[in-house]
Amino acid sequence: MDFAPTEEQQMVRDMARRFAETEIKPKAAELDERHEHPAEIVKQLGELKMMGIAVPEEYGGGGMDYVSYVLALIEISKACASTGVIMSVNNSLYCFPVQAYGTEEQKKKYLYPCASGEKIGCYGLTEAGAGSDPAGMLTTAVKDGDEWVINGEKKFITNGNVSGYAVIAAITEKGKGYKGISSFVVDLDNTPGFKVGRLEDKLGILASGTAELILEDARLPADGLLGNEGEGFRQMLTTLDGGRIGIASQALGIGRAVLEEALEYARTREQFGKPITSFQAIQWKLADMAMEIDAAELLTLRAAWLEDHKKPYEKEAAMAKTYASDAAMRASIEGIQILGGYGYCKEYPMERHMRDAKICQIYEGTNEIMRLVIAKNLIRN
């Protein structure tokens, strides 16, 4: 059992760390305050092959593995969780399904622009009445000659306001439940009938846009269908498994930032004539943070390793996402407690970390649903 990253994986992590420290971290607070999409940073991530890390080079990606993806995404998210989720969604929720289920022509047409960082991709699944229960979606796709006509509204779509491409889930055969769902890949910039709706005003990840996608008689060419009709739900489950590894990595980045900043503050903050690191109450908080974050990282790397080796990883991805997001949330709460009044003020990034951590327990499968996924796998086996 080897816990050390390969030389290539180490190089990817080091590159991501240097870029995050020099180019992202100094701008993170301002991006959050202004609710500003980090367009220039994302462009640079594309140039570094971070927007399609595990996509083969011939399709514009980095040709690396998912362990490298996790290591890089932790570093990016540690500097700015908003940038981390933009990168995660593009890699996991857009590039993955197009690469996994697309034809050669679709990969060249729809995968290359996003894997190379020229464009950004998103994933249109959630609706007002279809979150944890995707079978409740109302978006439909009807064949009309050589085209598909899509009608519906998708909500809470990360990257939705800045994306050039999207994978959209829709009902192609009513009355069949999950078996009636199909996936489509959509060129948003060149699809009549598509528009961006409301942009959500959120608690955290404020530099990442979360938008409605509205499709009104939106017409797609026949090659917009991803895979075969009725395969959308199966594709969705596998896509979300990988997405959960991305969210676990995002949460880990937040947790690492919290621990580093809490430790730095505690070493210099004095009370009763000595640093607060000398008090057992503070030591225990730091120890708990470190234990939980390290454990979460091991869970996440295991899930990524399984994906790299083409082994089942649904349960492991759910475990990683749940544990990492819970650990990040607990760490951020305790981080604020260690900083005291300063932790509650925007002068320090700790309050941003807490706002950013919360969503990791919700999106790409709530942690309640994740526990059902874990239990299902345990009982089935």
C-alpha 323/C-alpha 375 separation (Å) is 14
Contact residues for 348 (Cβ-Cβ < 8 A; gap 6+): 261, 265, 339, 342
What residue has token string 């959050």?
Answer: 32
The answer to whether 240 touches 167, Cβ cutoff 8 Å, is: no
Strand partners, 226: 183
Q: Please write down the HEC assignment for all residues of the chain.
A: CCCCCCHHHHHHHHHHHHHHHHHHHHHHHHHHHHCCCCHHHHHHHHHCCCCCCCCCHHHCCCCCCHHHHHHHHHHHHHHCHHHHHHHHHHHHHHHHHHHHHCCHHHHHHHHHHHHCCCCCEEEECCECCECCCHHHCCCEEEEECCEEEEEEEEEEEECCCCCCEEEEEEECCCCCHHHHEEEEEEEHHHCCCEEEEEECCCCCCCCCCEEEEEEEEEEEEHHHEECCCCCHHHHHHHHHHHHHHHHHHHHHHHHHHHHHHHHHHHHHCEECCEEHHHCHHHHHHHHHHHHHHHHHHHHHHHHHHHHHCCCCCHHHHHHHHHHHHHHHHHHHHHHHHHHHHHHHCCCCCHHHHHHHHHHHCCCCCCHHHHHHHHHHHHHHC
Nearest partner of 239 among 369, 88, 103, judged by Cα: 88
Q: Which residues are catalytic?
A: 364
Q: How crowded is the C-beta side of 305, counted as CA atoms within 13 Å? A: 13
